[in-house]
Amino acid sequence: MKLTEQQYELIEAYFNNDLSDTDRASFEGEFERDTDLKAEIQTQRELRLGLKALALDQRLKKAQQRWQQSNLSNHQIIQPQKDAEPTGKQILFGRQANTQRLGGFQYWVAAAVLIVVSGVGIWLYQQNSASATLETAYMEAYQPDDTQFLTKDFPTDLPANDRTKLLDIMQGYKAGNYASVIHQLETLPTEKQTLPYKNYFLGLSLLANKQADKAIPYLHLALTNSSGALAQKSTWFLALAYLKTGNKAEANQRLQTIAADPNQPFNGLARQVLARVKW
């Protein structure tokens, strides 16, 4: 699907940090639901990272060229003519030469400093690039849970009232009303039968609401107290939450577990993320 001109303008404003907090959150929610928009943002992010790397590389080459030119000019020393009356300039020749050498040395130091600074800049870029790779991998892999199979795992003796509440929460989540769902779940009475689902949807909604750090404890609890499809989903979204927060070690461990389990429905996606990120 072709993006609209307004969407391209929003993408530009998003990367330039020109959006308000409210508009930014709204736009992030939009591209999480729109795969075409999400793919375009990923392309734009990688393009901008590539341009930053190119700019650093060009600055480094220019610094090296300026130092080489200065080094050559410092060796072009004019010798006094034979039988010519020494001039004040020639009398001071040795001193001038030292001054020129000192200037060349000073320039070399300045160039070296620039190269070191550029090197630090490249290192910082590489660190940012690694983080961006985690973010990009997360964006590629993350899709809101469709929740359609979870109802099959509901306890058979689950009271009708509790079942209705959970179904309402699932509908709110599917509609993207994450803040409302979080509030509903936080006020939902804690019962043994519904607790795993409460923790799962809290973690899921917090993750979708850009609060991955807060989602992690709830997804842990959901995983600990569940089995079947709910446990499999909890494992996957917990891995994504670690990926989103930049915790490589935990994300890698969870993804390896998923990738090694042929019965895990997220097995293929886990393999893709493992191949995408430089661990």
Are both 134 and 155 inside the same structural domain?
Answer: no
Q: Tell me: the pLDDT tens digits for 104-147?
A: 445 445 555 555 555 555 555 455 544 447 888 888 888 888 76
pLDDT averaged over every residue in the chain = 76
Summarize the confidence of residues 205-219 as an average pLDDT: 95
Are both 182 and 74 inside the same structural domain?
Answer: no
Are both 136 and 178 inside the same structural domain?
Answer: no
Are both 161 and 248 inside the same structural domain?
Answer: yes
Are both 160 and 271 inside the same structural domain?
Answer: yes
* Residue 270 in domain: yes
Summarize the confidence of residues 192-206 as an average pLDDT: 88
* Residue 79 in domain: yes
Are both 220 and 201 inside the same structural domain?
Answer: yes
Backbone φ/ψ region at 263: left (φ over 0), alpha (ψ -120 to 50), beta: alpha
DSSP codes joined into one string, the chain? -PPPHHHHHHHHHHHTT-S-HHHHHHHHHHHHH-HHHHHHHHHHHHHHHHHHHHHHHHHHHHHHHHHHHHHHHTT-PPPPPTTPPPPHHHHTHHHHHHHHHHHHHHHHHHHHHHHHHHHHHHHHHHHHHHHHHHHHHHHHH------TTGGGGS-TT--HHHHHHHHHHHHHHHTT-HHHHHHHHHTSPP-TTTHHHHHHHHHHHHHHTT-HHHHHHHHHHHHHT--HHHHHHHHHHHHHHHHHHT-HHHHHHHHHHHHT-TT-TTHHHHHHHHHHS--
Q: Tell me: the pLDDT tens digits for 216-226?
A: 999 999 999 88
Are both 162 and 270 inside the same structural domain?
Answer: yes
Q: Which of 141, 175, 201 is the last residue of a domain?
A: 141
**What's the pTM?**
0.55
Are both 164 and 93 inside the same structural domain?
Answer: no
Q: Which of 120, 141, 162 is the last residue of a domain?
A: 141
110 vs 165, more confident = 165
Please tell me the total count of domains within the chain.
Answer: 2
Tokens 């375009």 correspond to 40
**Residue range(s) defining the domain that contains residue 135:** 58-141
CATH number for the domain that contains residue 229: 1.25.40.10
pLDDT band with cut points at 50, 70 and 90 for residue 149: low
Residue 276 contacts residue 133 (beta carbons within 8 Å): yes
* Residue 252 in domain: yes
> Is 80 exceeded by the pLDDT of residue 191?
no
Summarize the confidence of residues 15-44 as an average pLDDT: 81
Q: Which of 111, 141, 171 is the last residue of a domain?
A: 141
> Percent of the chain having pLDDT more than 90?
27
* Residue 40 in domain: no
Are both 74 and 134 inside the same structural domain?
Answer: yes
Are both 121 and 159 inside the same structural domain?
Answer: no
* Residue 197 in domain: yes
| Least confident window among 50-59, 137-146, 220-229, 252-261 | 50-59
Are both 175 and 129 inside the same structural domain?
Answer: no
* Residue 18 in domain: no
* Residue 158 in domain: yes
Are both 235 and 117 inside the same structural domain?
Answer: no
- Distance between CA 240 and CA 212 in Å, rounded? 9
